[in-house]
Structure 1
Amino acid sequence: MSELDLTMVKRAKKGDEDALYQLITSHKEQLYRMAISYLKNEDDAIEAIQETTYRAYKGIKKLRKNEYFTTWLIRILLNYCHDEIKKKKRVIYSDRLLHSMEAPEKNSSIETEDAIHSLNEPYRNVIMLKYLHDLKISEIAEILECPEGTVKTWLHKGLGLLRSQLKEKEGDFHV
């Protein structure tokens, strides 16, 4: 984190709303990409960013280490996304199913996406953060607040589970 960003975080923690707004604005594209990859809907992604902004505004004074502002902000977003996914888990997207039946050439990407979302939370998070958001193992460990070794284990196990799920659906599909 740059010295300017650290100064902005300090100002935000002291109640400077403009500083917090600038910090969040500088992260909005990254937050949007993460939200859309989790929630699969532009309106839901925008809602997630709004809620993340609100929660950051309400909780900025609880941030312990200024240099972890970005990690803290992403964690807020991920927590919100997980809550929303749990709420909507029972909904069946019949239009998506119909679309996949009409476009068989897209089935593999839809099946891969579905397989990723069917994984348990730690495996799903690590795979999405690593491969969809191009984060490093160390960054993922900070976001998930766990050791790097744990992230590597979850990544290895998650990819193994993903491979086996896709092999069952596709025959001999390789990740």
Structure 2
Amino acid sequence: MKPEEQWVLDAIKGDGEAFMKLMKLFKLDLYKTALSYLHNEEEALEAIQEVTYRAYKHLRSMKQPAYFKTWLIRIMINYCNDQLKNNIRITVNAELLQSYGISENHTVMELKDAMQGLDERSREILTLKYFHDLKIKEIAQALQCPEGTVKTWLNKALKMLRDRLDEKGGSLNV
């Protein structure tokens, strides 16, 4: 058992310190997810606060400690999608991205722009697979659907993304 799995078990039992260790461990992943959806540092930081609260509030519903990170990212994606539905306008702060070691170049901006034109499920699948390096099995667990369905959705999302990039003169090598 990984140390973070024990932290999850301890946190479920009410250990606040274990919960804080988990949140510190996954803070950058949460930030990158929020930023990839919201494109605004302040909104991303606010999202981390809200997701921390939601995760703590619903921690007892956590069923498999091994999937805590996936569960947490899923909460973040749901929060971000809710915010996007409320038509929040977004800007990217390149300095903050660089301070986190994320290089923002033309290709990345083009990719993010193309992803914004995709449906919610496609953005979600691509984010989980390529921005968080989750395996198909982990994505299926997070989305509570069969692995075959995830593969189908992923293929469709990649095709749509390629088509959007082709329209803009870009390319996708995945």
Q: Normalising by structure 1, what TM-score?
A: 0.79
User: Is residue 8–residue 65 contact of structure 2 (8 Å, CA) maintained in 1?
Assistant: yes
Distance of 1:92 and 1:10 partners within structure 2: 37
- Aligned equivalent of 1:85: 84
- Counting matched residue pairs gives 159
- Aligned equivalent of 1:136: 135
Change (3 A) 1:110 1:68: closer
Change (3 A) 1:11 1:123: same
Shift of 1:24: 1.2
- Aligned equivalent of 2:54: 55
Distance of 2:26 and 2:162 partners within structure 1: 33
% same residue: 49
Is 1:174 aligned to 2:154, yes or no?
Answer: no
- Aligned equivalent of 1:123: 122
Shift of 1:28: 1.0
- Aligned equivalent of 2:75: 76
Distance of 1:118 and 1:52 partners within structure 2: 25
Is 1:147 aligned to 2:166, yes or no?
Answer: no
Shift of 1:139: 2.2
Q: Structure 2, unaligned stretches of length 5 or more?
A: 92-104
Q: Structure 1, unaligned stretches of length 5 or more?
A: 94-104
CA deviations over 1:84-108 (Å, ceiling 9, x no partner) = 111126x487xxxxxxxxxxx94x6
Shift of 1:109: 4.7
Distance of 1:7 and 1:125 partners within structure 2: 28
Bigger relative contact order, structure 1 or 2 (CA pairs below 8 A, ≥6 apart): 2
Shift of 1:30: 1.4
- Aligned equivalent of 1:66: 65
Equivalent position amino acid for 2:5 in 1: L
Distance of 2:164 and 2:130 partners within structure 1: 18
SS in 2 for 1:139: helix
SS in 2 for 1:88: coil
Distance of 2:144 and 2:127 partners within structure 1: 16
Higher helix proportion (structure 1 or 2): 1
User: Is residue 38–residue 90 contact of structure 2 (8 Å, CA) maintained in 1?
Assistant: no
User: Is residue 39–residue 90 contact of structure 2 (8 Å, CA) maintained in 1?
Assistant: no
CA RMSD after TM alignment: 2.2
Runs (4+) off by over 4 Å: none
User: Which of the two has higher C-alpha Rg?
Assistant: 1
Change (3 A) 1:162 1:5: closer
